[in-house]
Amino acid sequence: MRKVNDATVTLGKENKSRGRSFWRFFKRFVLYSLLFVIIVVTGSIIYYYSTLYTAGEKQEGYLALTNATVLVDEELEAHEKSTVLIQDGIIIDVGRDDEVDIPASATVMDLNGHTLMPGLIDLHVHLGMKEMELGQELGPFGIIGLVSDFIRFTPDKRKSLLEHGITTVRSVGDEHEWIMEFRQLIQDGELEGPRLFTSGSLFTTLEGHPIATIGTDPDSEVVLFPDTPKEARDNVQEMVSGDEGVDLIKVVQERGLSEYPLEPIATDVLQAIVTEANIHNIPVTGHWGALKDLEELIEAGVDGLEHLGRGVVLNGWPEELLETIIEGDMLLTPTLTVETINAEPEYQQLLLERAEEFHLADGQFVVGTDAGMPGVFFGPSMYQELELLVKSGLSPQEALQAATSRAADALQSDEIGVIEPGRAADLIVIDGHPLQQIEDVQNVSKVFRDGRLVVEH
Ligand SMILES: [Zn+2]
């Protein structure tokens, strides 16, 4: 009995001390967990704010960029030994060095030996897409990166675009609410980055691109797919109304290949979208692939065309269609970079020939890269696109116009794209002579956004 009692006493003691050590372990566990959470949260906050890439101070007072070869007017005519005078972010005078009166209070930057030109405009980007090599899988880290990019409004892309001399982009299909907020933050001067124009959601069908092709979630705000003309008009009205209104409408008219047919937008729905946008004076640009897609877009009366579709690449330009495009002043964003990626050499050759035919017929190109698509990167793809345009027979000057003044026309903007008084000082300084050789455009040494020096190499 005693023995048992003794044993019970010992056991009780052991239980007590075991209880105490459990309690100690539990307290430590809670403490360390708490510490871990604090470190992660603090780390995330520091990471968030230190990588947000916020905008610097506004340019105030006078800034004179002197002694440069300035590419002036819509034609980008080279004027040597010239000055651009800026006040509060706006160009107020342009002329030969001895013609421009520089106020005594001005900050003067001597750009001797450099070319000064308007910032480049990429008219076809998808900022919400993850940059990936061709054939790369997204993976778990990719998803974390995607989310982290999303909540910080893609600082790396904003930075890379500016560093490559791109001071304006046009988003043609991104998460609606996100991209509208993005545009606002740029406009308000909170985030640094290129000026942003956007279509918000794009119009397509449930069995169309990009839902049925790259798997865009039909429940996401990237896509709208009205079933009836009435629904289409309502969608457009909603998108263009108020300060939050979109800058353009993007439609996807794509019936796919015979092996993989896709559903294009019904012609009465397409017509309703374009008509309603016209009423609100909002331009419409249309993605196309097959000849029939192109015909339907032209019939509906769109202002711009995205891509150089395989219908034309393989079959050539039907003469009447080509005439209608040119007489109707429709602007074509051929996105040659993305069209040539992964394509057979024969197809690439044909593509460039079709581009040349369009150019020789007096068709008007504008520049867009489709950055965000696999293998097409924000910034460098602009140089690829310009070089491909030159390969298609455009002079470097014509290719650069397509990425500046004419791109500004596509945006219906007289605020950017040309070096002339009254326009915003979105300017780039190039080491070299891009009008003589297009590759020189890659040597960006300074970038100004609204007169603010944002890149200096
Ligand atoms: Zn696209």
Q: Where residue 140 sits, what CATH number does that domain have?
A: 3.20.20.140
- Domain end marker among 383, 398, 416: 416
Q: E-strand spans in 262-357?
A: 284-288, 304-306, 331-333
pLDDT, one tens digit for every residue, the chain (457 residues)? 444 455 455 555 566 677 788 888 899 999 999 999 999 999 988 988 889 999 999 999 999 999 999 999 999 999 999 999 999 999 999 999 999 999 999 999 999 999 999 999 999 999 999 888 888 888 888 888 889 899 999 999 999 999 999 999 999 999 999 999 999 999 999 999 999 999 999 999 999 999 999 899 999 999 999 999 999 999 999 999 877 899 999 999 999 988 889 999 999 999 999 999 999 999 999 999 999 999 999 999 999 999 999 999 999 999 999 999 999 999 999 999 999 998 999 999 999 999 999 999 999 999 999 999 999 999 999 999 999 999 999 999 999 999 999 999 999 999 999 999 999 999 999 999 999 999 999 999 999 999 999 999 9
Looking at residue 418, its pLDDT comes to 98
User: Do 352 and 429 fall within a single domain?
Assistant: no
Handedness of CA 420, 425, 431, 437 (dihedral sign): negative
Looking at residue 16, its pLDDT comes to 67
| Cα of 138 from ligand 1 centre, angstroms | 19
Looking at residue 13, its pLDDT comes to 59
| Cα of 125 from ligand 1 centre, angstroms | 6
| Cα of 62 from ligand 1 centre, angstroms | 39
User: Do 411 and 426 fall within a single domain?
Assistant: no
Residue with tokens 């880290």: 141
User: Do 319 and 220 fall within a single domain?
Assistant: yes
Closest by Cα among 423, 412, 428, 327 to 366: 412
Looking at residue 440, its pLDDT comes to 98
Q: For residues 188 and 450, give the distance between their C-alpha atoms in angstroms, rounded to a whole number.
A: 12
| Cα of 170 from ligand 1 centre, angstroms | 11
| Cα of 339 from ligand 1 centre, angstroms | 11
| Cα of 126 from ligand 1 centre, angstroms | 6
User: Do 273 and 205 fall within a single domain?
Assistant: yes
| Cα of 19 from ligand 1 centre, angstroms | 64
Looking at residue 2, its pLDDT comes to 47
| Cα of 214 from ligand 1 centre, angstroms | 11
Closest by Cα among 404, 435, 361 to 168: 404
User: Do 202 and 282 fall within a single domain?
Assistant: yes
User: Do 72 and 195 fall within a single domain?
Assistant: no
Residues across the chain: 457
| Cα of 174 from ligand 1 centre, angstroms | 10
Closest by Cα among 251, 329, 258 to 294: 251
Looking at residue 208, its pLDDT comes to 96
- Rounded to two decimals, the pTM is 0.92
| Cα of 374 from ligand 1 centre, angstroms | 11
Asked if the peptide bond before residue 218 counts as cis, ω within 30 degrees of 0, the response is no
User: Do 308 and 211 fall within a single domain?
Assistant: yes
Closest by Cα among 407, 388, 374, 323 to 123: 407
User: Do 315 and 440 fall within a single domain?
Assistant: no
| Cα of 132 from ligand 1 centre, angstroms | 15
| Cα of 285 from ligand 1 centre, angstroms | 11
Domains in the chain, number: 3
| Cα of 171 from ligand 1 centre, angstroms | 9
User: Do 147 and 175 fall within a single domain?
Assistant: yes
| Cα of 288 from ligand 1 centre, angstroms | 11
Host domain of residue 435 = 56-118+420-457
Looking at residue 130, its pLDDT comes to 87
User: Do 2 and 75 fall within a single domain?
Assistant: no
Looking at residue 5, its pLDDT comes to 52
